[in-house]
Amino acid sequence: MVVVVSLCFVVFSLAGALKVSIPKPEYEFARGDNITLPCDFLPNGKPPSVIIIWTVDLGGPNDPGTMILTHYSYSGETDVPPLYEGRASLALDIAKGKADLKLSSITLQDNKVFSCRVQIPRDDEGTLADSARLVVLVAPSKPVCALQGKAEYGQNVNLTCLSAEGSPTPVYSWEQRDVRNTPRLRDPRTTDRGGILSLYNLSMDTSGYFTCTSKNKIRSAACNITLTVLPPSLSLGSSAGIIGGGIALLLVLALIVLICCCCKKRKQREAEKYAMATPEEGAFADKEPIGTGKRRDSRDEEEERSEYDRRVVNDDRRVVNDDRRVDDDRRSDHTARRSDYDDRRSDFDDRRSDYDDRRSEYSDRRDDRDDRRRDDRRRDDYRNESDRYDEPYDDAEPARPKPPSVPNNKPPRDTY
């Protein structure tokens, strides 16, 4: 009974005084949040008018504070200085005694002490103001996971994890999963201090997935790192293997080049042997292109020519002209196939000569046929020398000695 009476007395005695309060001494919000700082006031009766003032200061005794806003209830105006214009507003309900401050997009600069003051005419006793500290928190930024040291058998490495931001300072924790992605208990040799996970005496079993979580009271973020422990010799071994392979490749290439050179030289030697074995006319010798087939052909043509020389002069000229034409063509195109065509063309030329022969002399078809057969043989020889085995016909022809000791184009004509 005494307690109730005394309580009633206290309530009665305070009823005539203004009481302003901010419920908590400290408020925590994340950076970027839109916040409301509550301020309650209990007036003495229904106030005719009220002035609400929110200020902010660093909490030191000498800081006069900065005005955030001032509200005058009699005119309904709220005055916000430029520094807080657009960010600060008042949630006012005079009947319920509420004068909350709304602040949007708070930053680390808002880490200060906020004060709420209520002025009511003729009600200037009691608690006229209260204040609270705003703690602006920063979520941990996504941490960066990194490896320090060489991930080789027997080595020690550090896995580091660091968030660039975070207020309060984040705490870090590591989790491990093996290569089959199943959670793994912490190896007793590892240590985890301040975001650094130290792994000692690495082995193949240390390989796996490591996740670091950076966490403070408002949020957490994580990063992953994959650790692959290799034998120390592998990096050296693989580079040695690459070098060895390169050297082997070079050797093979050198061998191929060498073989090619040898073949070419042998062919050239052969060709020179043929060329020297045959008497050559200066004009033709000078025009000779390099190549066995050419030399042999020109020799044949020479012999043709000397043979013709003994015969009709007109025909001779003609044949020489034809031969020259053939020679020119060969010089301009050195492919074997082309030479083959030229061969055939020279065959036609021969045939043309034959017709001329027929016209001027008694040469007949048998002769011509002989010529053609010999031409075929000549072509066959040519093929043998230039290593061409791709023509299916002429199989029946017997292999002929190289070079043929007898001119094979027009010898039968000598018999006439």
Ligand X SMILES: *[C@@H]1O[C@H](CO)[C@@H](O)[C@H](O)[C@H]1NC(C)=O
Binding site for ligand X (CB under 6 A): 32-34, 104-105, 148-149, 154, 156-158, 196, 198, 201, 203, 209, 211, 222-224
Question: For ligand X, which is the closer residue by CB, 87 or 287?
Answer: 87
Question: For ligand X, which is the closer residue by CB, 21 or 198?
Answer: 198
Distance of closest approach, residue 15 Cβ to ligand X, in angstroms: 39
Rounded CA separation 38/381 (Å): 113
The answer, yes or no, to whether the previous bond of 61 is cis (omega within 30 of 0) is no
Question: For ligand X, which is the closer residue by CB, 220 or 384?
Answer: 220
Distance of closest approach, residue 109 Cβ to ligand X, in angstroms: 16
Torsion of CA 176, 179, 185, 189, to 10 degrees: -80
Integer angstrom CA distances of residue 221 from 56, 133, 173: 32, 27, 11
The answer, yes or no, to whether the previous bond of 231 is cis (omega within 30 of 0) is no
Rounded CA separation 195/174 (Å): 8
Distance of closest approach, residue 142 Cβ to ligand X, in angstroms: 7
Question: For ligand X, which is the closer residue by CB, 33 or 57?
Answer: 33
- Could you tell me how many residues make up the chain? 416
Do the bridges between strand 66-72 and strand 51-57 make them parallel or antiparallel, or are there none, so unpaired? antiparallel
Q: Residue 103: which of 37, 28, 20 has the closest Cα?
A: 37
Rounded CA separation 54/79 (Å): 11
For residue 92, which phi and psi values (nearest 5 degrees)? -110, 135
Distance of closest approach, residue 204 Cβ to ligand X, in angstroms: 9
Question: For ligand X, which is the closer residue by CB, 187 or 307?
Answer: 187
Strand partners, 379: none
Distance of closest approach, residue 98 Cβ to ligand X, in angstroms: 20
Question: For ligand X, which is the closer residue by CB, 25 or 231?
Answer: 231
Rounded CA separation 345/342 (Å): 5
Rounded CA separation 212/190 (Å): 14
Question: For ligand X, which is the closer residue by CB, 17 or 223?
Answer: 223
Distance of closest approach, residue 40 Cβ to ligand X, in angstroms: 24
Distance of closest approach, residue 181 Cβ to ligand X, in angstroms: 7
Query: Which residue, judged by CB position, is nearest to ligand X in the bound state?
Result: 149
